[in-house]
Amino acid sequence: MAPPAAKKSATSKSASDYSAHHLQVLEGLEAVRKRPGMYIGSTDGRGLMHCLWEIIDNAVDEALGGHGDRIDVILHGDGSVEVRDQARGIPVDIEPRTGLSGVEVVFTKLHAGGKFGGGSYTASGGLHGVGASVVNALSARLDVEVDRGGKTYGMSFRRGEPGFFKDGPEGPSPDSEFTPFEKGSELEIVGKAKRGATGTRVRYWADPQIFLKDAGFDDESLRQRARQTSFLIPGLTLVIRDERGLPGTPGETGPHEETFLHDGGISEFVEYLAPDPHVSDVWRLQGSGTFTETVPVLDSKGHMTPKEVERECGVDIALRWGTGYETRVKTFVNIIATPKGGTHLAGFEQSLLKVFRKQLELNARRLKVGGDKPEKDDVLAGLTAVVTVRLAEPQFEGQTKEVLGTSAVRAIVARVVERELTARLTATKRHEKAQAGLVLEKVVAEMKTRISARKHKETQRAKSALESSSLPAKLADCRSHDVARTELFIVEGDSALGTAKLARSSDYQALLPIRGKILNVQKASIGDMLKNAECAAILQVIGAGSGRTFDVDAARYGKVIIMTDADVDGAHIRTLLLTLFFRYMRPLVEAGRVYAAVPPLHRIEVVNPGAKKNELIYTYSEAEMRKQVAALNKRGKSIKQPMQRYKGLGEMDADQLAETTMDPRHRTLRRVTLADAEAATSVFELLMGNEVAPRRDFIVRSADHLDKERIDA
């Protein structure tokens, strides 16, 4: 038990360390530390990135208001991140209600800032006034410097509490000795700024007590966000500098810097996003509208009173239609992405469908529409669009700002789209009229394809499992109707089909032969694809439709296995088939139900002495064959010469094909996966698309890496 004097001393020390000032500052931020998920969504890498977005968005809001045209983001090697801007700088004077400097109010008080209708921002991404203070609360250390009036002001915080860090010669660190302010906070003058220079620099270290150990900054996500922002604010320069030296990143060998600047705005953004050749040019739909809203306002006595205010909502949309059927629509509110949409997206889609239905009704005879009406998916097919709205104090669902909730925006966006898009589709100038006609024809084609696919699906479902009269005659179907068990082998040519029929298990393995190289569907239109006999047969046999109407649950087989020869032609046929699956039956690939068979390249016959039967060994690559031959020679085994090199599946007998390629107990299958849809799209477009020049450049670049031994010529 401690002596009384010691107890008194400990009590006195504890009392001096715990002052009323601490309670005042940490009162609001302590809630953030206890429930971080309420403010940043999660405590993994996504939450870490969300904190960075909050600081970057504060700088972006300044640029959006016309203050500053450059933002630097630096990922330091010690795990900290720094955001620099050249905007007005955070106010450094004393805020009258709290008696604190503007810097301390912004970084320690929840729901404080210049975005609550005070006139500092007409539109902004940060709205709730919690971004900077939340990041501060969840940081082991945060340093802020502000240039204003020829001076540089500085302040530091530890887990939201202001004070001083005593840094050593190695530089700033969250582990440095920290002394909190006792009687009153102080915004220090730490240096001189150039005349007329203003701006803010924020550097922080995420708190390991809050975030998971494996949480880290995603450099690719950061670059995508910077590129996106540079499109949304033309003329703004964003610089991302990575000094971490992490393996697998562009900066693994040294500091890496990337600059983003786009003067073309969202029109250029649409061209960047579009995955397919264009049907129309990029169309810009712009307009605005006003609405009234009741908001609580703080009066001079400190009371919240409701007040009717008039808001203006600016709408700016860029869109274009392409030859494909994929839809890419990105929505933004005050340059903040809303990936889950909201009222602005609802208004856009509602008006889009209304305009096209009206135009198709007016042009029904010319376009041969009949009595059918387009659905939303018909209009959205092949559409790439960027929808942006700007308004003061929009309502979001949650701090993560993924869904816009301001109801009046829906009607404003709908009116702007209806007016501007109708003008585009009814234009009289030759070029614009021709483009409008092509877009209307595309929507009609998508509508007819959908109706045709639906009728086909209804017909297929109406038939019993025993009725297979609609299936191609060349299909050698299986007896089982258990989709989870059945397999469809797409084989190259009739010679391989004959052997495969004898090698298969007809209970659950079906065979569909194709004649040589099918149509390259990356270059062809959907109409040409449906007219092609081989492509049509594959779609018909799988029985799940195509494109937007593809229903993976309706597929007749659990596995689709591409079985081609192990030569260059076989690889080309496999690529053409995969292009068909990727473009028109992608859900089947995403579900992991498309495979490539791996037939052997060589058969090694080991001669056994006496009456013992010779042993057969199959190898699947040149390297494996050489390794196997060397191992047999080392063991003194005799090999029958010449070794058989299979040029095609037709050279095998049924037992060999079953044992090596078709029997699930022995075969090897290569599953086709789709880890990154965007990367896969660009590769298919490079290898199989209409543009010859990029493909030629790729072939020239890759020629040095070609193994000439692999060419059968």
- Cα separations in angstroms, 521 against 80, 324, 328, 530: 48, 11, 21, 10
Give the Cα-Cα-Cα angle 606, 610, 615 (nearest 5 degrees).
Answer: 25
Whole-model pTM: value is: 0.61
CA-nearest of 233, 260, 264 to 60 is 233
pLDDT tens digits, 447-470: 988 888 777 766 655 443 334 446
Q: Look at residue 414 in the predicted model and tell me its pLDDT.
A: 96
Q: Tokens 């100038």 label which residue?
A: 429
475-599+671-710: which CATH architecture?
A: 3-Layer(aba) Sandwich (3.40)
End-to-end CA distance of the chain: 93
Torsion of CA 42, 44, 46, 51, to 10 degrees: 80
Q: Tokens 């955001």 label which residue?
A: 83
Distance, CA of 14 to CA of 351 (rounded, Å) = 66
4 exposure class (CB count in 10 Å sphere: 0-12, 13-18, 19+): exposed
Give the Cα-Cα-Cα angle 296, 300, 303 (nearest 5 degrees).
Answer: 45
Residue 63 contacts residue 69 (beta carbons within 8 Å):
yes
Residue 266 contacts residue 318 (beta carbons within 8 Å):
yes
- Cα separations in angstroms, 306 against 303, 309, 310: 10, 10, 13
Radius of gyration for the chain, computed over Cα atoms and rounded to the nearest angstrom? 33
Q: Look at residue 23 in the predicted model and tell me its pLDDT.
A: 39
Q: Kindly give, in sequence order, each residue whose CB lies less than 8 Å from that of residue 252, ignoring residues fewer than 6 positions away.
A: 245, 246
Distance, CA of 454 to CA of 446 (rounded, Å) = 12
Domain ranges of the chain: 20-263, 266-298+306-450, 475-599+671-710
Q: Look at residue 6 in the predicted model and tell me its pLDDT.
A: 46
CA-nearest of 412, 510, 413 to 468 is 510
Domain spanning 20-263: CATH 3.40.50.970: no
Q: What is the β-pairing status of strands 161-166 and 100-101?
A: unpaired
Residue 251 contacts residue 242 (beta carbons within 8 Å):
yes
Whether omega before 642 lies within 30 degrees of 0, making that bond cis, reads: yes
Query: Angle between the 408-425 and 343-362 helix axes, to the nearest 10 degrees?
Result: 30
| Residue 536 burial (CB count, 10 A) | 14
Distance, CA of 332 to CA of 342 (rounded, Å) = 10
Q: Kindly give, in sequence order, each residue whose CB lies less than 8 Å from that of residue 223, ignoring residues fewer than 6 positions away.
A: 240, 258, 260
| Residue 83 burial (CB count, 10 A) | 21
Torsion of CA 377, 381, 386, 391, to 10 degrees: -20
Residues with pLDDT less than 70, the chain? 1-28, 111-130, 298-302, 398-401, 457-470, 675-682, 684, 689-690, 704-713
429 exposure class (CB count in 10 Å sphere: 0-12, 13-18, 19+): exposed
pLDDT tens digits, 251-291: 888 899 999 999 989 999 999 999 888 899 999 999 999 99
Distance, CA of 544 to CA of 552 (rounded, Å) = 6
- Which residues on neighbouring strands pair with residue 152, listed in sequence order? 147, 191
Residue 419 contacts residue 363 (beta carbons within 8 Å):
no
Q: What is the β-pairing status of strands 487-492 and 559-563?
A: parallel
Phi-psi map region of 89: left, alpha, beta (phi>0 left; psi -120 to 50 alpha): left
Q: Look at residue 713 in the predicted model and tell me its pLDDT.
A: 44
Q: Look at residue 380 in the predicted model and tell me its pLDDT.
A: 94
Phi, psi of 691 (to 5 degrees): -75, 115
Distance, CA of 615 to CA of 604 (rounded, Å) = 8
Q: Which amino acid is at 282?
A: V
- Which residues on neighbouring strands pair with residue 146, listed in sequence order? 153, 200
Residue 263 contacts residue 234 (beta carbons within 8 Å):
yes
Name the 3-class secondary structure at 456: helix
Residue 124 contacts residue 174 (beta carbons within 8 Å):
no
Distance, CA of 78 to CA of 172 (rounded, Å) = 10
Name the 3-class secondary structure at 157: strand
Q: Enumerate the H helices of 171-218 as residue ranges.
A: none
Q: Look at residue 522 in the predicted model and tell me its pLDDT.
A: 79
Domain spanning 266-298+306-450: CATH 3.30.70.100: no
Q: Enumerate the H helices of 196-313 as residue ranges.
A: 219-232, 265-273
Q: Which amino acid is at 189?
A: I
Residue 502 contacts residue 574 (beta carbons within 8 Å):
no
